[in-house]
Structure formats: structure tokens, C-alpha cells
Amino acid sequence: MLLGDRRVPPVPGGYAVVDVEATGRSPWRHRVVEVAVVLLDHRLRTEGEFATLVDPAGPVGPTHVHRITQDQVVGAPRFREVAPVLLDLLAGRVLVGHHVSCDRSFLEREFARLGVELPPVPELCTMRLARTRLADAGGYGLAACVAAAGLGRYPAHTALGDARAAADLLRHCVAAPP
């Protein structure tokens, strides 16, 4: 499998493609309101998916962006309830996301609020891959990259929709010539 200009060996545990929707832009001031993980094996085949709304214990934030209303998070688990599941899903895998450092920051901060350190896991950013594989994208947001790759429409700004789109983009970028 080629990533960038170097050969990357298959990852024994595979990949965890993650996306979070949050109550705002700052991991320090805002909370996760939805999280999704698409599990891929070392050949980038989907092994499973996990997605849930998360009760942020406060306002849900920019509903016009993520379309999640306050009523929808009533009865949803708090982050502390999904944290063990997330730790299991990420264990031994490469963390993948479109602008993965943002998703990772939110996860790290949510785990820190629980007194838990997110274990160090390697990461791979589909936005960075797209910069080398989709030079004509006209922008490197997820929607622009998905369109440039010809991957079709997806439910943007939903955690599972974005995670699935990032997984498809990863597959496309790995198959595309550098």
C-alpha cells in the first residue's frame, strides 16, 4: 500500500476512522455531541461501525452545522459511558480522520476530563493525503475532497456520514497515483 511517496506496510490492527461533532470549535471549551468510528482492516475493508449521540451536559451548540437538537441528546449516553467502547475500538489501530488532529484533540480532552489519557496511537490524516492525491480539488474540506474524488453524496456533518466519507476517501487516496 502506498501512502505519499513511501511504502507503508499493512497495519495488523487496521484503522479506526473517526469523526466527532461538537458543541463548538474549542476542545477546551466545547464538548463532543456525536462520535462515530468506522473500523477498517489492514486492506481497508470495513469491519464494523459505531456511532452515538453524546449528551454534552449543556447546550448542543451550532445546530445549523450538525443538525443535532437539544431534544435529540436527551437520554443519550454521556461521554464517560462511551469512553470504554471508544478505547476498545481504537486499541491497536491507526487513528484516521479528515483533519484528524481536530478529532483527536476533542477525544483527548474528553478523556482528560475523565482522568484518562488517550493511549498513543499513530494517526493518518485524509486531508493531508488529499493534498498529494487530489491536486485539483479546489479546496481540502471533506466535501470538496469527496467531490473531487467522485465519491458521490454523503450526509455531511453527521459523525457517521463524515467517518464513512473519510474511509472512502482513504481508500481512494491509497489507490490513486501520487
Q: CATH no. for residue 44?
A: 3.30.420.10
Q: Work out how many domains the chain is built from and give that number.
A: 1
Structural domain includes residue 158: no
Structural domain includes residue 156: no
- Residue, of 8 and 101, whose pLDDT is higher: 101
Structural domain includes residue 151: no
Helix (H, G, I), strand (E, B) or coil at 112: helix
Residue pLDDT, tens place only, 136-162: 888 999 999 999 999 988 988 899 999
Structural domain includes residue 73: yes
Structural domain includes residue 101: yes
Structural domain includes residue 176: no
Structural domain includes residue 157: no
Predicted pLDDT of residue 136: 84
Mean pLDDT of 49-54: 98
Domain membership of residue 116 as a residue range: 2-125
pLDDT over threshold 90, residue 4: no
Give DSSP secondary structure letters for 16-73: EEEEEEESSS-TTT--EEEEEEEEE-TTS-EEEEEEEE---SS----HHHH---HHHH
Structural domain includes residue 142: no
Q: With bands split at pLDDT 50, 70 and 90, how would you rate the model's confidence at 72?
A: very high
pLDDT over threshold 90, residue 9: no
Mean pLDDT of 104-132: 95
